Structure 1
Amino acid sequence: MVKRDLYLKRIRPFMNKDLIKVITGIRRCGKSVMLELIQQELMKDGIPAKAIFSYNFESMTLSHLCTAKALHQDVLEKTKGHTGKVYLFFDEIQEVHEWEKAINSFRVDMDCDIYITGSNSKLLSGELSTYLAGRYVEFIMYPFSFREFVDLIQEAQPGRSTTDCFRQYLLYGGMPYLWNLQYQDDPVKQYLRDLYNAVELKDIIRRKQIRDVDLLERILAYVTTNIGNTFSATTISKYLKSEGRKVSPETVLNYLHAGNEAFLFYPVKRQDLVGKKILSIQEKYYLADHGIREAVIGGNMQDINLILENIVFLELKRRGYNVTVGKAGEKEIDFIAERQSERIYIQVSYLLASPETIEREFGVYQTIRDNYPKYVLSLDEFDMSRDGIIHMNIRDFLLKSDTPMAN
Structure 2
Amino acid sequence: MKQLMKMWNPWWTEGKVPASKKRISRPETLETILKLLDIREVICITGVRRCGKSTVMYQAIDHLIGKGVKPENILYFNLDEPFEDKSIGLLDRIFGEYIEIHVPKGRKYIFLDEIQNIKDWEQWVKKFYDLYGEEIKFVLTGSNSSMLSDQLSTLLTGRMITQHVFPLSFKEYLDFEGFELKDPDIQRNEILHYFNKYLFKGGFPEVVLEDDMDINHLRLTEYFNSILLRDIVVGRNIRESAKLIELANYSLSNVSTLLSYSKISNATGLSVNSLKEYLLYLEQAYLIYQLNFFSYSVKDSISIKMPKKVYCIDNGLRNSAAFTFSADEGRLAENLAFVELKRRKVEFFYWKEKREVDFVVKGIDGALTGINCTCTDHIRQGEINALLEFKEHFGEKVSGLILLTKNLEKKENDISYVPLWKWVLGTR
- Rate the CA distance shift 1:96–1:129 in 2: closer, same or farther, 3 A: farther
Secondary structure in 1 matching 2:358: strand
CA deviation vs aligned residue, 1:27-60 (integer Å, no higher than 9, x gap): 0001101111111122222212111111111234
Which of residues 388, 405, 408 in structure 2 aligns to 1:382? Answer: 408
Secondary structure in 2 matching 1:197: helix
Which of residues 192, 201, 207 in structure 2 aligns to 1:163? Answer: 192
Looking at structure 2, the residues matched to 157 and 388 of structure 1 have their Cα atoms a distance apart, in angstroms, of 30
Q: Which residue of 2 aligns with 1:59?
A: 81
Within-5 A mapping of 1:8-407:
8-60=30-82, 63=83, 66-79=86-99, 81-110=103-132, 111-125=135-149, 127=151, 130-155=154-179, 161-182=190-211, 184-240=212-268, 245=269, 247-272=270-295, 278-280=301-303, 281-297=306-322, 299=324, 302-327=327-352, 329-338=353-362, 340-341=364-365, 343-353=368-378, 356-357=381-382, 359-360=384-385, 362-367=387-392, 368-369=394-395, 370-379=397-406, 381-400=407-426, 404=428
What is the deviation of 1:103?
A: 1.1
Looking at structure 2, the residues matched to 24 and 390 of structure 1 have their Cα atoms a distance apart, in angstroms, of 34
Secondary structure in 2 matching 1:97: coil
Looking at structure 1, the residues matched to 398 and 322 of structure 2 have their Cα atoms a distance apart, in angstroms, of 41
CA deviation vs aligned residue, 1:211-254 (integer Å, no higher than 9, x gap): 112211221111111111111322211223xxxx4x32101111
Structure 1 segments unaligned to the other structure (5+ residues): none
Do 2:370 and 2:387's aligned partners in 1 also have CA atoms closer than 8 Å?
no
What is the deviation of 1:135?
A: 1.4
Secondary structure in 2 matching 1:270: coil
Q: Using structure 2 for the length normalisation, give the TM-score.
A: 0.85
- Rate the CA distance shift 1:298–1:186 in 2: closer, same or farther, 3 A: farther
Secondary structure in 2 matching 1:161: helix
Q: Using structure 1 for the length normalisation, give the TM-score.
A: 0.89
Aligned partner of 1:75: which letter? F
- Rate the CA distance shift 1:300–1:117 in 2: closer, same or farther, 3 A: farther
Using the aligned pairs only, state the percent identity. 24
**Bigger Cα displacement from structure 2, 150-159 vs 295-304:** 150-159
What is the deviation of 1:318?
A: 0.9
Looking at structure 2, the residues matched to 221 and 64 of structure 1 have their Cα atoms a distance apart, in angstroms, of 31
Looking at structure 1, the residues matched to 224 and 35 of structure 2 have their Cα atoms a distance apart, in angstroms, of 34
- Rate the CA distance shift 1:276–1:366 in 2: closer, same or farther, 3 A: farther
Do 1:293 and 1:300's aligned partners in 2 also have CA atoms closer than 8 Å?
no
Do 1:170 and 1:300's aligned partners in 2 also have CA atoms closer than 8 Å?
no
Aligned partner of 1:232: which letter? S
Q: Would you say how many aligned residue pairs link Structure 1 and Structure 2?
A: 392
Aligned partner of 1:363: which letter? L
Secondary structure in 1 matching 2:147: coil
Do 2:357 and 2:387's aligned partners in 1 also have CA atoms closer than 8 Å?
no
- Rate the CA distance shift 1:126–1:276 in 2: closer, same or farther, 3 A: closer
Do 1:64 and 1:70's aligned partners in 2 also have CA atoms closer than 8 Å?
no
- Rate the CA distance shift 1:374–1:94 in 2: closer, same or farther, 3 A: same
- Rate the CA distance shift 1:276–1:77 in 2: closer, same or farther, 3 A: closer
What is the deviation of 1:127?
A: 3.4
Secondary structure in 1 matching 2:166: coil
